[in-house]
Every structure is written in C-alpha cells, then in structure tokens.
Amino acid sequence: MIGTVRRRGDRAQRADLVIVANRLPVDRLVGADGAVSWGRSPGGLVSALAPVMNSQGGAWIGWPGDVGEDLEPFEHEGMTLIPVSMSAAEYEEYYEGFSNATLWPLYHDLVAKPEFHREWWDAYVTVNQRFADAAAAIAAPGAMVWIQDYQLQLVPAFLRELRPDLRIGFFLHIPFPPAELFSQLPWRRELLEGLLGADIVGFQLSGAAQNFIRLVRQRVGHKTHRDSVYLPDGRVVTAKAFPISIDKAHFEGLARSEPVQERASQIRKDLGNPRRIFLGIDRLDYTKGIYARLRAFSELIHDGHFTAQDATFVQVASPSRERVDQYRILRDDIDRLVGHINGDLGRIGRPAISYLNSAFPQAEMAALYVASDIMVVTPFRDGMNLVAKEYVACRYNDDGALVLSEFAGAANELRQAYLVNPYDINGMKAQMLEAYLADEKELTRRMRAMRKTVAENDVNNWARNFLGDLAAARPGHEKHVKPAKRS
Ligand code: F6P
C-alpha cells in the first residue's frame, strides 16, 4: 500500500507507544513525475510490527534508507514516522560495519569471522545516541518505548538517562550468543549495560535470555535470579523469551485469494508441472545455508532418487547488505554453484534450480508457498525464521512439507517439521528425500499440528505479551523523574 508524504513544519505530537528500529517500515517510491510516496517495506520485522502499530497508533523512529538527508516526521497508514538521518560514513561504519560485519556474525555462531574496529564502535555509539535522542523527544510522559534489534543495543541505557519516566522494552530478533562467543567483543560490558537500560529485554528463545543473564552476572557483576537482574539502584530488569511470529490470518487470506491461487497454478505450469517443487526463500545471507541445501538437492538427483523432471528447486534470494565482503563472496559462490548444477543436470526449458536473485511482493511469495510441495529452511543459525511460519500459514489444506534446520528458532515450536542439521549434508538429503516420498496422511498429520502452533501464537499474541509485560513494568528511578517538557 502506498501512502503520501505529509510533511509537517511543527513537531509531531507526543506518542504513548514508540517503536525504535533501525529502519522505518516504509520504502521511498519515486514516480515518473518525480513525486515521492512511501510504500510498506517487506521484511520480517516490519510485517511483525505493522499490525500492532496500525491497531494502536503510535510513532516509529527509524532510518529512511538513504544517506545524508534530513526528513521531517510524516504520517503513514496511521503511524507517525520519524526519520533518523545517517551520513555515508555512518552507514559504512555503524550499519555495514559494526552491525553487520561485527555483531551479525558474532551473534550467529561465527558462521563468518567478525571484524572488530574501534572506529566502527564509535559510529555505533553516535548513531545509537541519535536514536535515543529522537525517542526522548517524541515519547509522551510515562510512554512505552519498544526498541528493536541488535543495531540499537545501546539505546535503552541512553534513553533511560534522558527519560527515566518511560517504560522501556528491548527485543532482540536474532540469536544471543553464549558467553564464550560474546566475550570476544571488546565492548562486551558496554553492550550489556546498554541493554540493562530496558525494563524488559526480550529474546526469541529462553536459552538466549539465560545467556544474557549469565553474562550480566559474570561481566557486570549484578545479582541475578532466574529471569531477573537486580541493579544496585533498586531497579529490576526482566530477561525472557517472547518467540516472534507472523500475521497468520493475513497470510492464509492471501493464500486463499483468487489472484494468488491463479498465480500459483501458473507457477507450477511454468515449471513444467513437476511431481514435486522444492522452495527456498531467504535474504541472500551466509547464515541461511543456501549453498549447502542446493548441493543436497543436486546430489539427490545425481544419486538417482529423482530426476530434474520429477523435481525442481525454486530458490529466491533477495539481495541484502551487498557491499559487505562476506555477502559479495556468497553471491558469487551461489551464482557459480547454480550454474554448475544447471549445467550438469538441467535440460532445455527445465533447469534443476530456478534461482531468483530479487525481492518479491508478499502476494508473489504467497503464490510460491501455495505452489510448492516442500519448503526448505536450513539456516546454520537463525533467531526465528518467519518464512517457515509463513509457509505453514499458507498451507490451509494441511498439505506440504517443511524441512527445517534445528538451529532456527522456529524449530523450537515447529517440532513436526522434517528437522535437519544443516552442517550434515547426508542427513539433510535423507530428510529432503523423506519429505519428497511422504504420503498424504503423514504430511497432513505434521502440517495440521504445525498450523495449530502458528495459529496459537501469531504476531498479535507476541506483541500483546511483550507490551502487556512492559505496561506492568515499573519504570526505574521513579523518585528522580523530571517533569516532562511539553513541546
Ligand atoms: O532480522 C534481522 C534483521 O536485521 C532485521 O532487523 C531486518 O529487518 C532484516 O534483518 C533485514 O536486514 P537489513 O535491515 O540489514 O536489510
């Protein structure tokens, strides 16, 4: 959906609910006539939070996606959007550098080697302070502020310093590593103290919350008990799991819609109506295990379990963080692998793998989910993985198979998936083959159970649980609360 920009000369009204995330939930669209408008952006975080913001109203603070420009706050689909600017150097050092070449690999089990650079850290501090300043300016007295993800781990403490009257929540969408890995970070104590500015620190899994509690005890020296941290000033911080989910009704509705049904039949026809369609949908990221899964699929053909006419693999890999070295290397590796596999196994008009290096609108993704028989989600490490849940939501006939890495957070809930260790190619092949050969009854048994799980914990539950706990939290330092300045 496209909203128009309403620039406002005056300061935006103060908000009772403020979301702070690295990105605004919109992409800028420039029409042929040069007119600027904004469309809802794709991505797990945005699709998870947009329904909550729409229903509750509120302000969203984030980076608009371009460097070096200052934009005024504007309204979009019932939310006030507050752009935070970033220079080209900050984009390189805070976003590409510290967020995505230091924290991202460190928090994902060192799937790639993290780089530690002091100037990247300095930019991370500066940009986090800017987000905190913006939140302090827009939040109404006693408001709830919910900060999102690894790019903004210092914001809770910066914000508490400025506005001790606020209820501050933080949610980490990616894994939180064990102490042995986290402790490599030269700024480990600063990051822990940054997070401790929140009243509630949420994680995808309880193991991650326990990692955090243990680190706080070891590295900061605070007293802890179960999911609570006791600060010397009397404040109590809760660290616990809030597994994120999707808008199940929305995806199921899309899947059932006529245009998506028609598109799904067209996709099957275009692929030559094979017996089985395998599907992967990921950001093009080295944590996602795309290379290993395509190899596993190609080996199943090589080994003679089925032919490229019987089964085909559609891999969507949306471009991501393209200037970061590891992502560039991955893109070249996958291009080469797909070329080899199709060169070896494909026939005219029948490639073994249809590789699409682009992003698609949600309706097209839903059509792919409907068209496919076996969804393959095999990350080496993943906070949750919403694609797995989206696939389940779209299979309203209780059919289709999900092959899922045991290292994705989603595996904690979707126990009836064909669970795999993505480092074990033979094990992965065995499970993919089992999914390929499974009878209808078995598929229905598994899918029905997974659909029940996704229905019981959708994104509305997730947001309600987190915000419910946050509303009940006692903001710290109440005795020191400064009178809030009105704009
Ligand atoms: O889930 C992790 C995350 O970084 C989200 O914060 C973000 O929405 C998504 O991946 C896409 O990443 P990026 O903003 O770097 O393109």
- For the stretch 318-338, pLDDT in tens is 999 999 999 999 999 999 999
The closest-lying atom of ligand 1 relative to the alpha carbon of residue 149 is 6
DSSP-derived secondary structure for 5-31: ----SSPPPPEEEEEEEEE-SEEEEE-
Q: pLDDT category, 55, cuts 50, 70, 90?
A: low
CB 444 within 8 A of CB 398: yes
Q: Per-residue pLDDT averaged across 439-466, rounded? A: 95
One-letter amino acid for residue 303 of the chain = D
Ligand 1 neighbours (beta carbon < 6 A): 22-23, 43-45, 149, 173-174, 320-321
Residue 5 has pLDDT above 50, yes or no: no
Residues 6+ away with beta carbon under 8 Å from 309: 272, 274, 347, 350
Which tokens in the block code for residue 199? 């009243």
Q: Per-residue pLDDT averaged across 3-16, rounded? A: 54
Query: Phi/psi zone of residue 41: left (φ > 0), alpha (ψ -120 to 50 degrees), beta?
Result: beta
User: What was the pLDDT predicted at 46?
Assistant: 66
Q: pLDDT category, 45, cuts 50, 70, 90?
A: low
Mean pLDDT of the chain: 92
Residue 52 has pLDDT above 50, yes or no: yes
User: What was the pLDDT predicted at 53?
Assistant: 73
Residue 129 has pLDDT above 90, yes or no: yes
In order of 66, 104, 408, the CA distances from 98 in angstroms are 18, 8, 23
Query: Phi/psi zone of residue 289: left (φ > 0), alpha (ψ -120 to 50 degrees), beta?
Result: left
In order of 80, 166, 404, 485, the CA distances from 136 in angstroms are 15, 9, 41, 10
| Distance, C-alpha 169 to centroid of its chain | 17
How many Å lie between the centroid of ligand 1 and the Cα of residue 391? 20
What is the CB-side half-sphere exposure of residue 290 using CA atoms within 13 A? 30
Q: pLDDT category, 479, cuts 50, 70, 90?
A: very low
Which tokens in the block code for residue 230? 């006791």
Residue of 20, 22, 46 with the most ligand 1 atoms within 8 Å of its CB, for mutation: 22
Atom 15 of ligand 1: nearest residue by CA position: 321
User: What was the pLDDT predicted at 474?
Assistant: 76
Give the pairing type, strands 374-377 and 353-356: unpaired
The closest-lying atom of ligand 1 relative to the alpha carbon of residue 383 is 1
Domain ranges of the chain: 5-244+463-472, 248-456
Atom 7 of ligand 1: nearest residue by CA position: 45
Q: Per-residue pLDDT averaged across 368-395, rounded? A: 98
Q: Per-residue pLDDT averaged across 187-215, rounded? A: 98
Q: Per-residue pLDDT averaged across 453-462, rounded? A: 92
Q: H or E element: which one contains 237?
A: strand 236-241
CATH of 5-244+463-472, one of 3.40.50.2000, 3.40.50.2300, 3.50.50.60, 3.90.1150.10: 3.40.50.2000
Same fold? 5-244+463-472, 248-456:
yes
Answer yes or no: CATH 3.40.50.720 is held by domain 248-456: no
Question: For the segment 212-233, what is each residue's pLDDT rounded down to a tens digit?
Answer: 999 999 999 999 999 999 999 9
How many Å lie between the centroid of ligand 1 and the Cα of residue 142? 29
How many Å lie between the centroid of ligand 1 and the Cα of residue 123? 19
User: What was the pLDDT predicted at 476?
Assistant: 56
How many Å lie between the centroid of ligand 1 and the Cα of residue 46? 9
Beta bridge partners of 402: 375
pTM of the shown model: 0.94
Question: For the segment 148-183, what is each residue's pLDDT rounded down to a tens digit?
Answer: 999 999 999 999 999 999 999 999 999 999 999 999
Residue 484 has pLDDT above 90, yes or no: no
Atom 9 of ligand 1: nearest residue by CA position: 43
CB-based burial, 446-466: b 16+ in 10 Å, e otherwise:
bbeebbebbeebbbbebbeeb
Which tokens in the block code for residue 277? 């369609």
How many Å lie between the centroid of ligand 1 and the Cα of residue 237? 26
How many Å lie between the centroid of ligand 1 and the Cα of residue 153? 14
How many Å lie between the centroid of ligand 1 and the Cα of residue 481? 34
User: What was the pLDDT predicted at 57?
Assistant: 64
Q: H or E element: which one contains 470?
A: helix 459-472
